Structure 1
């Protein structure tokens, strides 16, 4: 009988940490955009990275369906397991919805999306002009705030597992942390 896996696959690890790094990059790009009014360089990069996050998240979701998550510790309370699963589900939802809403906002406003300067990303067939784009951007920004809350919850949960529960949950996603017996 095969020994159960004690960490996520390399593909899962790379996608997790790459998407996490890109989300942090998004925050920096928006801060840069707000700091230099009138220059759209940061905003254009933000759009490209956002669409990259969409593609990677869809890939990660497909990988996750084909390679289910590791089971949570048996002694973990049921409510914590539910919160963990809900948090992951909400991550997928937001990491797919946010780029789609941003794409829709650019499309409604008729603003081109030049993907990393390589080609024009096709705009969605959405009308409504600036008013619709503004409403969509309000939704995009609200989703970003929800994402910040999820990130804080996710990091707090990982640290709780490592320092308080002293289990191997964090080791599964950061393999160079020594595994506890």
Structure 2
């Protein structure tokens, strides 16, 4: 019988932390956009679009990897409500990390605004009409989703810290292997 896994695979870890870093980068890029004007502000938005589409591609890759490599089981001692909250949070991450870039892409497409991925190539626009009004409506959804995603990240981090410092189980070790595994 195979030894049970105690941590996620290297691919899972890389995708998780790369996407997390890019989400934090997005917050910085939007802050930069809001604090500047003119060409500099547009540079921040161009980078925001490129990073957002990168998050979309990486999240789809992570979802494919997750389907092929199911999540580790949660600790047996964990209450059922907490397991449901944990799984629900992960599902919502996938929903937000796929929907947000799609909505942003659709908004740029509706407004007819080009997307140049990190200055390397023209990203194709979606066949979305409606002009500026549709783009504005989509951006309202995108911005609301951004606020909800930040709340979800806070919940996720709080849960991880609760497991490490209060419950004192090995849940955090699974994503941070440099943390010693508890017996």
State the TM-score bracket (shorter-chain normalisation). Answer: over 0.9
Q: Which runs of 5+ in 2 are unaligned?
A: none
**Displacement of 1:38:** 1.8
Write the distance in 2 (CA, Å) between the matches of 1:159 and 1:169: 9
Please say which of residues 102-111 and 31-40 is displaced more in the overlay: 31-40
Per the normalisation by structure 1, the TM-score is: 0.99
Gaps of 5+ in 1: none
Quote the residue 1:148 is aligned against: 150
* Aligned residue in 1 for 2:94: 92
Q: CA deviation at 1:16?
A: 0.2
Deviation of 1:148 (Å):
0.6
**Aligned partner of residue 46 in structure 1, secondary structure:** helix
- Compare 11-20 and 32-41 and name the one that shifted more: 32-41
The alignment status of 1:66 with 2:68, answered yes or no, reads yes
> Counterparts of 1:166 and 1:142 in 2: how far apart (Å)?
34
TM-score (norm 2): 0.98
Q: Which ranges of 4 or more aligned residues in structure 1 deviate by more than 4 Å?
A: none
What is the match of residue 19 of structure 1?
19
Per the alignment, residue 36 of structure 2 pairs with: 36
Task: Return the alpha-carbon distance in structure 2 between the equivalents of residues 95 and 35 of structure 1.
Answer: 25
Separation in 1 of the partners of 2:125 and 2:2? 49
Residue 169 in structure 1 maps to residue 171 in structure 2:
yes
Q: Give the deviation of 1:37 after TM superposition.
A: 1.4
What are the superposed Cα offsets for residues 6-64 of structure 1, whole Å, 9 maximum, x if unpaired?
A: 00000000000000000000000011111111220010000000000000000000000
Correspondence list, 1:107-122, <5 A: 107-122=109-124
